[in-house]
Chain A
C-alpha cells in the first residue's frame, strides 16, 4: 500500500469526526487533525480505534500521542503494517 492509497483509506475515517467537512476534500499529508480538520481532541482516540480496525493493527499509547497529523498517521500505520508483515 503506497501513501496515496493509505490516504484514501484514512479519509473516510477522519471525515466522521471532522467538524470542518470542506477541509476533507483538500486533505494532504500536511493536514493537522485538530487545527485543520477541527476534530475534537477527545475524538482522536476514536480515530485511532477506527484505524486499528481498518488496518488490522494495534497502535500503542506512545504512537497514539504522536498521531496528530496525516503524515504522522501514515508513518505510524506503515510502521505497524511492516511489523505485522515481518512477524
Chain B
C-alpha cells in the first residue's frame, strides 16, 4: 500500500523573518520585509524596492565552516542550507556523523540560478585571462544543484539528492516530487524546498521586462499589492523555504510532531498554446491543474477552506481568481478564504512556492489565516467574482481542514498542492 505523507519539520529564511518563530510572527501580523534597495537604484533600474532576508555573519557561521566561507558568494545556497538544516533540526532529526550516509533520507531542493554573484566574478576573471586563478569552489557554488549538494553533504543524506528547476513553481514542485517519492516507498523522508539568489543580477532581468513595480520606490512596504486595483507589478525578493516530508509510519514511529498531511497535488503545463506563452498562463491548463490536484488528493472542491494563491501583484491577479472560481465552481461568499504572502515578502521567484508553503502549513497546524496587506483598494474585477470578505485583511483565528496552494511560472507551468490538517 502507498505511504501517507506528512510534514514533520520546517525551516525558512524569508525577507520578513529568518527562522520559523520570526517568520510566524511576521506572517500573522502582516509585517512587510520589503525595503529600499540601494543597488537597484545605483544601477538605474526602475524598481528600487526588494525583499532580502537579513542575515548576520555570526548566524551564517553557525551553518558554514570558515573554509566553506572562503571566497563564498552564493546567497541562494546560504538561504537554502540554513532553511534545510533548520527544517531537519525542527523535525527532530540528528546529523549523522558516522561514515554511513542516511540511506532513507534525501532532498529535492529547487533553485532558479545558483551563486549568480559568484558566477559574475568568475566570468570577469576568465575574461581577464585569470581563468587558472578561479579556485576550487566556482563549480560547487554556481552549479544549479549547489544547494542540494551542500545540504546533502552537511546532513549526510544517502537517498536522492537533487535540484529541480521550473521557474516560479519550483518550490511547489519540489514538495510534490518529494511526496511522490515517499509515497512510492523509495524514501522515508525528504527535505523538499527551494531557494532563490539575491541581487541585481537576478532581479534586473525582471525589471527590464517591465514586470516589477516602480511606483512605490518611496514607500517600499506598500509596494507589493496583490489583488489591489493599484497593483502595478511584483516586487522581486529572495530567500528559501524547506519542509521535511516523511512517511506517516516513520513519523509515528519516531514520535515526531506532525504539522499537516500532504494529500497530493498536480503539475502541468499549458504548452504555451492558446492564451499561454512563455510569460502568460493558459487558463485552461491552470483550471485543469487545480481540478486534477483536487481529484488526486481525493477531496472535493467544496472541502477547501483556504487558498494560498500565486497572486504576484500584476494585472494577472484577477485572472487567477477567475481561474480558481471556475475550477472550484465556487464564487461570491461561497469562495474559500484566499491570501497571498507576496503582499509582505514580494515575489521570491524560485523560492516562492516553498516559503509560501511553509506559511500555508503554519496556518493549518496553528489554525489561523494570515492577513493580506496593501489590498484595501480591491481590484474591481476580483470583486465581481468573489466576496471581498473572503480576502482577509486582518488576522483570522480559524480552524482550517484543507488548504490549496498553487504556484504558476514562466514557461506556462502550473502546480497545485493540497494540504490537510492531521
Contact = CB atoms under 8 A, between A and B. Distances in A.
A50 B253 CA distance: 51
A16 interface: yes
A17 B66 CA distance: 9
Contacts of A43: 67, 136
Interface string A6-47: 000000000011000000000000000000000000110110
A49 interface: yes
B136 A42 contact: yes
Interface residues of B, number: 7
A16 B136 contact: no
Nearest to B133: A49
A16 B69 CA distance: 11
B135 A49 contact: yes
Contacts of B133: 49
Nearest to A64: B132
A42 B153 CA distance: 15
Interface residues of A, number: 7
A68 B99 CA distance: 25
Contacts of A45: 135-136
B42 interface: no
A49 B135 CA distance: 7
Interface in B245-285: none
A45 B66 CA distance: 17
A50 B230 CA distance: 55
A17 B67 contact: yes
Contacts of B70: 16, 46
Contacts of B137: 46
B140 to A, nearest CB: 9
Given A45-B136, A46-B135, 13 more contacts: A16-B66, A16-B67, A16-B70, A17-B67, A42-B136, A43-B67, A43-B136, A45-B135, A46-B70, A46-B136, A46-B137, A49-B133, A49-B135
8 contacts: A16-B66, A16-B67, A43-B67, A43-B136, A45-B136, A46-B136, A49-B133, A49-B135
